[in-house]
Structure 1
Amino acid sequence: MSSEQRATLLHRFERISELPMLLLSFGFLIIFLLVESNVFEATITLVLDGLLWLIWGIFLAELVAKLYLAPDRLHYLRSHWFEVIIIVLPFLRPLRLLWLPIVLARLWKQSQRALRRKMPAFIGVSSLVMVLITATLMFIAERGSGGPITSFADAIWWALATITTVGYGDTYPVTALGRGIATFLMIAGIALFGLLTANVAAFFVEEDTVDRSQADLAMINERLARIEQLLAEIVQREARER
């Protein structure tokens, strides 16, 4: 198989697997956060851990397939180092928490590619990921502090109220780490809301531009039809005079 054929097959494989792997990365992130937050009994945690290993196996199969199709395997490994780290980290148990930023990097890259022309969907996915991450970190930071956030459900409610800039005030962090997380989520919520507003405004401006362009095109077509009619009448008149 030539290098050109390998590159073509690799591109086709990446395009087909893009959305499924995005969903798997998203599921992996949720399950990982649930496992690390220790909110479930040992049996449920064991099942969730098994799901993590299952998704890890799919990540491994994907990497092997891409390496097989890649024209330059060494270059591919260098340019996709985060995929290699995802595969290696499970064997380095003390560094397991590093899975979080690595999977986030993969999820961000995949969502940018898969949803680059669907900005509302991209904003929705980003918001959901942000809620889950900050809620988990907040639950870990506030657990046992005596504050109003005493369960994972409280942390989810707090994250939803904060990222939507509603801020009911019934749940709030009391630790320094929790307040730092809250500050980050406030800024992220304002940024996402501004991005959504700009996207909606751009949509209406684009629709208005399209409508005006269509109106101008219709007017031009009408004038061309009139010119053609006049030319036909002139030709007929000259033919009669002859």
Structure 2
Amino acid sequence: MSPERRAILLARFERTTEIPLLLLSVVFLVIFFAIESRTTNAEITRILDGLLWLIWGVFGVELAIKLYLAPERSRYLRSHWIEILIIGLPFLRPLRLLWLPVIVTRLWRQSHRVLRQRMPAFIGVTSLALVIIGATLMFVAEQGSGGPINTFADAVWWALTTITTVGYGDTYPVTALGRGVAVFLMIAGISLFGLLTANVAAFFVEEDTTDRTQAELVQLNQRIERMERQLAALAQRLEEGQSKSREQ
């Protein structure tokens, strides 16, 4: 198979699997958070853990197909190191929390490609993902610390008030890891708020520009119509003048 044919098939495969794999990444995160929040019994936890391995297998098959279709395999592996980490990390069970940043990075790249033309949807999906991620990390960090965040519901409430920059102060981290998570979520919340504000402003500016453009087009059409009428009148006069000349 020629490299050009491989490149065409690779692009087609990526377009076909883009949205399904994005949804699968979201499912992976939800299952991961359900396990790490320790809100499920042992039997459900084993089932969820099995689903994580199943999703990992799908990611592995995806990487194998892309690697087979890639025109330059070594270059493809260097530029898709996240996929390689996803395949390798599940075997390192003591480093289970490292799955989280890798999957989040993959989810960010996929959602950015899929939703780049739908900025409000992109902001909404990103905000929801950050709330769930921040709540899970905070719950893990604050367990047994004696602080006000004792349950997963407390962690979710804290994440919502933090990312929206409300900050009631009824829940707050007391551990060093928890405060690090808080700093990350604060910065993310401010960034998302700025992005949303810029997107709204751009919407109104674009709408105003569109209105002005439409008004200019209407004026241009009116001028063209006047010119057409003048040309028609001029042509009629020329025709009348030629008729009179022939009669004489």
- Whether these two folds match at TM > 0.5 is yes
CA deviation vs aligned residue, 1:165-200 (integer Å, no higher than 9, x gap): 222332222223322322321221111111101101
Q: Which runs of 5+ in 2 are unaligned?
A: 243-248
Q: Which moved more, 1:176-185 or 1:144-153?
A: 176-185
- Letter paired with 2:7: A
Runs of 4+ residues over 3 Å off in structure 1: none
CA deviation vs aligned residue, 1:84-131 (integer Å, no higher than 9, x gap): 121122222223322112112211111121111111111111111111
Aligned partner of 1:208 in structure 2 is: 208
Q: 1:180 to 1:95 in 2, by over 3 A?
A: closer
Secondary structure of 1:40 counterpart: coil
Aligned partner of 1:235 in structure 2 is: 235
Aligned partner of 1:220 in structure 2 is: 220
Return the offset for 1:220.
Answer: 0.3
Q: Which moved more, 1:49-58 or 1:73-82?
A: 73-82
CA RMSD of aligned residues (A): 1.4
Distance 1:124 1:24 in 2: 18
Q: 1:75 to 1:100 in 2, by over 3 A?
A: same
- Residue 148 (structure 2) pairs with residue 115 (structure 1): no
Q: Which moved more, 1:2-11 or 1:176-185?
A: 176-185
1:46-125 equivalences under 5 Å are: 46-125=46-125
Check conservation: 2:131, 2:163, Cα contact below 8 A: yes
Return the offset for 1:136.
Answer: 0.8
Aligned partner of 1:11 in structure 2 is: 11
Distance 1:134 1:40 in 2: 19
TM-score, length-scaled by structure 2: 0.92
Q: Which runs of 5+ in 1 are unaligned?
A: none
CA deviation vs aligned residue, 1:145-171 (integer Å, no higher than 9, x gap): 222211111101110111112223322
Distance 2:202 2:228 in 1: 39
TM-score, length-scaled by structure 1: 0.94
**Aligned residues with identical type, % of pairs:** 69
- Letter paired with 1:70: A
Q: Which moved more, 1:163-172 or 1:109-118?
A: 163-172
Distance 1:177 1:62 in 2: 34
CA deviation vs aligned residue, 1:11-50 (integer Å, no higher than 9, x gap): 0110111111111112212211322232322112111111
Report the count of equivalent residues.
242
Aligned partner of 1:20 in structure 2 is: 20
Distance 1:189 1:178 in 2: 16
Instruction: Say which one has the larger Rg.
Output: 2
